[in-house]
Each structure stands twice: as C-alpha cells, then as structure tokens.
Structure 1
Amino acid sequence: MKKSAIYFGILITGSAYSSAGSAQSSVTLYGVIDSGINYTNNIQKGKTANAFSGGHQIAMIEGGSAGLQGSRWGITGSEDLGNGMKAIFLLESGFYSNNGALNQGGAMFGRQAYVGIKSDLGTVTLGRQYDPVVDFFRPYLASPQWGGYMTAHPSDLDNAQNTRRINHSIKFRSSTWNGLTVEAILGLGGVAGSFVQNSIWGAGASYAAGPFSAGAAYLNVSNPNLSFFGANPNAGPATSNNLGSFGSATSPESNPVFAGYASAGRMEIAAAGMGLTLGAFNTNVAYSNTRFGNLGSAAGPDPLHYAGTAAFNNVEVNLQYQMTPSLLTGIAYDYTRNGGAGGKEGADYHLFSAGIDWFLSKRTDVYSIAVYEKADGMDSTGRAAVAQITGLTPSSTDKQVALRVGIRHRF
C-alpha cells in the first residue's frame, strides 16, 4: 500500500566512542510543507436561538486543517549500541505554513517527541506518541493516501486522522515476523492515588501477505476530555469542553458531532481495515466503533444532562488508481451513524470525496480534493445536525461542499 509520508532529509553521520569500542550514530533532518486554497460553499458565521447564519468562504488553509499532510519539521537519530541494539529518538514540530504559528496547541514538538531502544525483537519508546489506531487502522483510509484531512471521518471521531497524540506514553512495537506486526501502548495518567484516572492504553496488529493486508486496533481512554482531547498545551481544565465547545449564544460551533459528550468518563475505539492491491488499483474497506461511555461524569461539562453511552459506527470504502507513475487518483464513501444518548435521537453523516495528486518530482506534488457531506437527525448538541467536513468550520445547514487545490513539498 502506498504510504502517505516519505521523508527526505540531510543525513549527518559521525562516530562516538564508548568503553565497548566505536559506535556509529546518525541524525536526520526532514520536513513537509503543505498549503493550498479552499472554497467552501457554506460555513457558520453566527447563530441565534433557533438558527445559524452562514456564507461561502475562499481562504488559504494550512495542510494540517484541510490538506494532504500537516506542515512539520523534525529531527530523528540513532546510535549503535552493539549486539543488535540502537538508541533512537525523534522530535517533530507541527506548524501552520500560512502564518508561521505552531500547531498542536502551541507545543514545540507537538506532533511527536520520544526516545527509546530498538532491537531485533522490536522497539520500546517513551514520550508523546501515535496510538495503535493511527498506526494500524489509518493506512486503510482515503485520508493518508490521497484525500487528506477533509476526507477524514466526521470531526476525526475515531482519531484515525491523528488529531490527538498520547502524552506520557510507553510504547512497544514488534519487528515484523512472517508479515505480522504487533504493538501496545500505555499512557500514564500521573494522578496520585489512582493508576487508572486519566490513563490511556491500547493495542494493535497488522498482517501483510502479497497483495493483501489487514490491520486492527483498540484504544481505551479514561476521562477523555482531559487525558486525550486535553493533551495539548492550550487545553482547559475539567470544566472546559476540550472535545469542542458549544460556543456562545452567537458564535459558530466548533465540533457539533461529539462536543456534547465531554462528560464521558471513558472513551473506547475499536477499528479494523483490510486492503487489496491489484496492479495499479488499491481498494480498502474499514470499520470503526467509537463509544463515549459513563456520560454525566465529572470529566467535563454536561449541559444536556446526558447519561449512559453514545456510540458511533463508521464504515468507509475507498479506491485508489495509479494512472501513471506521477498521477494518482482516488474516490471514497464514508458513512457514520451516531446512535444518540440519554434517549435523544442520533445523527447520520454521509461523506463523498474524490482527489487527484500529480507528482512533479519525488519531493513536490500538486493536488486537488473535492468533498461533499450530508447530515441528518440530531447531533450531540441537541440541535438538528449540520454538516462539518473535518478541519473546517461547520455548515449552517445539513450540507457542505469543499474544494481544494494545494501544493506539498517534502525535504
């Protein structure tokens, strides 16, 4: 399967000496810059007690909000420790190419920051890291192949687009044995007197044989409003809705898809996908189940007085066609069902997308993406569901269309 990120860097090699003798080490600098122009037919400008006002928008939007990849730069390195072992590290900083600001809530290395040991058996790393859903489920979606953020599942509800990372985490990823790779992660909550509070744990696996591959993952999050959605430096306390604000009486919404479930005491994501590559064609099917459980806890605000569990089921089918070595196209359909909570009606989201990516060189490509979303029912805020293409401001109606032309350069 085509991978979404290929890093090109400047390799600096040197040597260091220890009591055991000479040890080789290396450091690599790499990065991605992705920017483009978006047209959106309708975004919220404000609201009243009964309705939203909206209008179309033309804007330059950073790749991390609507493009193929978030702009970033990073440093990765390794040192040979002997006996088949290496010390490794990675520091990766996300930024907005349209204004130069830091992404991920202003964190210096908000995308990733870890150090660890790699051996023939696998790799153990400690720091801020990706979860197994990102590592083993995301490759089967349109978003990392040709679609980017706008083709992600509504509001990235299953984190398959990697909107959130896990802080204070210990991660093990095995080497690949006969096509099988496994992974486990534990995010320490750090709360005195409680090992479970604010903790995160998960596991995943993938298998590849010839043209077929499959992956599955599970993530369990305690107090997600704080531990998961509140993991960036600009996040608020338990009284804030880090899942997405309801906003004021007049301001546009930020995340109506699941913002109403901020009081969940636990969040669980179970996901699986499979793909088949035949010549120039690659097709994938993916399913995820996201559950916000123990609603009404003290983890976050609960203005709608929810109780019980809100569950989202998501199914995606996508097709990629490599027309020429330098021209890639794709189409996808995604369906999401929110069953509702507390006896309130849920919502349905239908997402249609298409994209084309033209590689001018191994490092530079230009692309275009078109996305249409239709919403039905009642969303988590207790209002008639509106469309919200991931990364964009919600629509004032149940429909939203977005078109993007962008350029990406990797170094």
Structure 2
Amino acid sequence: MKKTLSLMAACGIACTAHAQSSVTLYGIVDAGFRYNSNAGGKSQFAIAGGNESASRFGVTGSEDLGGGYKAVFTLESGFTTTTGAMQAGLMFGRQAFVGVATPYGTVTLGRQYLTLSTYLGPFSSGSDWAARGAGWGYHPAGLDDVDGTERANNAIKYVSPRYRGLQFGATYSLGGIAGNTTQNQMISAGVDYGNGPFKFAAAYLYVKNPNYSLFGNNATSSTTGNNFSSPVFSGYATAASQQVVGAGASYAIGSFTLGGMYTNTKFFNIGGTPVAGAKPPAGEIGATATFNTGEANLKYSMTPSLQFGVAYTYTRASSYNGESGASYQQWSLGADYLLSKRTDLYFVLLRETAGGFDSTGHRAVAALTSATPSATDTQNAVLLGIRHLF
C-alpha cells in the first residue's frame, strides 16, 4: 500500500501553495519455484525469490519549486526474498538519483537505467512478463541490455517532455578514471512514440571497456575480473568497446497486443581491454564480433484478471575463426492471474536451443540468461510463484 507523507507537515513547517513536497514508499515482494532441466548436466529445482519481478523497496519523492519546476529523487534497494539478503550488499543497488523536472524536460544525476533499456524494454517479453526478475527470459546473456540489468553509475540523464506522442532522451555515464575522461564511459540515446494502439521506439548505446563499465556496474559483478560470465559472449570480455542499435514496436487490437523488436550488438577490437583471467580467442584479436537478435511476441488479456503471453527470439552470432557462429532460439510461454489489484500468481515456461560455435570456440550450449548453462544444446525451464506490490 502506497503511503504518501508530507515532509512539510512532518517537519512542522507550514506548507504554501507553491511548495508542496511528498515522499512515496513502494515495493515488490516476489517468491516461487524455479526448475532448470539441465544445469551443467543435472536437473535443478529450487525455491527462489524475484522470479517474475526482482524483489525491491524504494522511496521516491518530489518538491514543488514553483514555476513548473520540481526537485525529484529516487532511492531503490533490491533484496532476496528467500534469505532477506540485500542485492549484492548494495544499499541502493537498483537506483539512486536526484534531479530537477522542468517544463523543458527532466535532468537527473546518479545510478540509473540507461536510455536504451528504458525505451526498448517495453517491447521485449523478457522485460515484461517472461521471468523478468530471474532474467531467464532475456535475450541471450542479456548482451544487448534491453532488459536493463546493467545500470549506469555516475550518470547524467535527460528525458524530454512528450509532444504529440513523441519523446526523446539521453544518458551519459562518466568513467571517473583520473587522467582519462573517456575510459569506461557510456553514451545512450533514444526516441519513442505512442499514438493510440501503436507504439514505437529506437535507441542506441555505446560503451568503452564494457567488461568494467556496462557489465562491471552490475551489482553482482567484479570490477577487476571477467564480468562476461556466459559462454554466449564470455570470449569477448576483452573487447575495447561495445555498441547496440535497436528498434521495437507494438500494436494493440482489442484484447491482443502484438510486439516485436530487433537489436544489433557489436563488440569491437577484441583484445583491446586487458582483463584478469580472460584471454582473447586465438585468431580473433582485433576482430569485431556481431550478434543480431529478433523477437516477436503476443499478449492476450482473456479477462481483466487473466493474461497470457507467447514469444519467440532468435539470435545469430558472426562466424568464429571460420566456423559457423552460434545461434540461439528461445520460446517463452507465460500466464498471469490477478488475485487482487496488488497480488498475482504467475507461470512461465521457457525453452532454448543452440547451434554452431560460441565465443569460447566450443560447440554452443543452451544458456538461459542468469541460469546455470546447459551441458547440451537444449535447456528447458519452469518458473511459478506469487508476487505482491505495495
């Protein structure tokens, strides 16, 4: 239950018509079961938190400064429902920013989502209903960051006002390295449009030294070791830079919403960033690795309380030392039933198959994002549980 507090009243200060302040406490508690048919060659069944949505609590607020200006802030912490542990020990690992909202747009400073994931995420099933909290329904290894798992530290973010359905935004993350202002920097920009049943977005992301910048900003990763943990792209941890370009669209027809998206991800100059414990693939030093991902999805609201979803994703990697690059096909099926406005039951079924040779030079294995990779080219998973919003 949302609870709004008046800061002025709490401090015993009289409120004026042009200086109203408020703080809202919010959160999600999610827990259930996970099944992985092939976790390194063995089946795995576990009780886990954060399947459909990562469990969290946060505080967001604003202060009216007058003249259409507001001071805004958000502090959001993640936690594990099953153990109560904080997200990798970070107090506010999900978001922590402050800024000013004006008639000309909003500018915020701090740890934030990148513009690419903000604009493209709504068109991906993995960022919507396909096990978003666990990450298992994301595009392979989350390599295009459409899901928004990787946050931007030291970030400046701008979001424009919406004009006739059109909005644009940008994020710049400073690397914070003395003597090298561009090392570890991240730049992201995008535009979206919504008019009635039709929605569209396009976005761009460029990062330098992605092992330390984009993936090193993940609360569960190291700032000194190899953060590319999945065989989907672990061989490219030493890339000097990464680029993602993508677009998505959706159209609602009655109770159905048809969506789709495409992303192109490139890792440039493999071997250009020294990484402890990571060796560039033989013959790939200086090369560029490319991944093309396409997704089609469909949501159906049978009743106001019952929703179904189905999605198909195909990812193709560039060739590896003359061998056929890896390909990954993923099918997702989900259902969600509302017990009330704030409590629901969910079910997600996932299947991934792989072919070709992956970034490590080995035969590609199925590797659902954030799950223990399979020992074969196939992996199936089931997630079910209960989620409560407050």
TM-score normalised by length of structure 1: 0.89
Post-superposition CA distance 1:21-49 (Å, at most 9, x none): 861100000000111111221111xxxxx
22-31 or 367-376, which deviates more? 22-31
Aligned counterparts of 1:410 and 1:99: Cα–Cα separation in 2: 19
1:152 corresponding residue in structure 2: 138
Matches for 1:348-367 after TM superposition, within 5 Å: 348-367=327-346
Aligned counterparts of 2:15 and 2:195: Cα–Cα separation in 1: 43
2:373 corresponding residue in structure 1: 394
Aligned counterparts of 1:341 and 1:266: Cα–Cα separation in 2: 18
5+ long unaligned stretches in structure 2: none
1:298 corresponding residue in structure 2: 273
Aligned counterparts of 1:130 and 1:97: Cα–Cα separation in 2: 23
2:47 corresponding residue in structure 1: 60
1:256 corresponding residue in structure 2: 231
Secondary structure of 2:216's aligned partner: coil
1:39 corresponding residue in structure 2: 35
1:125 corresponding residue in structure 2: 108
Aligned counterparts of 1:236 and 1:145: Cα–Cα separation in 2: 28
Secondary structure of 2:128's aligned partner: helix
Post-superposition CA distance 1:225-250 (Å, at most 9, x none): 11111114664345x21111xxxxxx
Post-superposition CA distance 1:264-309 (Å, at most 9, x none): 0001111100000011000001000111111011342324243211
Post-superposition CA distance 1:356-393 (Å, at most 9, x none): 00000110000100001000011111111110112211
Residues 114, 299 of structure 1: CA spacing in aligned structure 2 closer, same or farther, 3 A cutoff?
A: farther
Residues 260, 408 of structure 1: CA spacing in aligned structure 2 closer, same or farther, 3 A cutoff?
A: same
CA contact (8 A) 1:386 1:396 kept: yes
Matches for 1:216-255 after TM superposition, within 5 Å: 216-232=202-218, 235-238=221-224, 240-244=225-229, 255=230
Which of 78, 98, 110 aligns to 2:93? It is: 110
Letter in 2 for 1:158: D
Which of 36, 59, 73 aligns to 2:57? It is: 73
CA contact (8 A) 1:10 1:29 kept: yes
Letter in 1 for 2:226: N
Tell me the CA shift for residue 14 of structure 1: 3.7
Aligned counterparts of 2:15 and 2:75: Cα–Cα separation in 1: 28
1:171 corresponding residue in structure 2: 157
Secondary structure of 1:114's aligned partner: strand
CA contact (8 A) 1:136 1:204 kept: yes
CA contact (8 A) 1:225 1:299 kept: no
Residues 188, 18 of structure 1: CA spacing in aligned structure 2 closer, same or farther, 3 A cutoff?
A: farther
Which of 337, 354, 361 aligns to 2:316? It is: 337
Letter in 1 for 2:111: R
Letter in 2 for 1:214: F
Post-superposition CA distance 1:112-164 (Å, at most 9, x none): 00000001221000000001121110101112332123221111111111111
CA contact (8 A) 1:146 1:329 kept: no
2:73 corresponding residue in structure 1: 89
1:162 corresponding residue in structure 2: 148
Secondary structure of 2:212's aligned partner: helix
Aligned counterparts of 1:25 and 1:18: Cα–Cα separation in 2: 11
Letter in 1 for 2:157: K
1:287 corresponding residue in structure 2: 262
Aligned counterparts of 1:286 and 1:343: Cα–Cα separation in 2: 29
Aligned counterparts of 1:143 and 1:231: Cα–Cα separation in 2: 20
Aligned length: 380
2:167 corresponding residue in structure 1: 181
Tell me the CA shift for residue 10 of structure 1: 1.0
Residues 29, 226 of structure 1: CA spacing in aligned structure 2 closer, same or farther, 3 A cutoff?
A: same
Post-superposition CA distance 1:313-362 (Å, at most 9, x none): 00000000000000000100000001134545410000011000000011
1:372 corresponding residue in structure 2: 351
Secondary structure of 1:227's aligned partner: coil
Aligned counterparts of 2:253 and 2:102: Cα–Cα separation in 1: 34
2:289 corresponding residue in structure 1: 310
1:4 corresponding residue in structure 2: none
111-120 or 54-63, which deviates more? 54-63
TM-score normalised by length of structure 2: 0.94
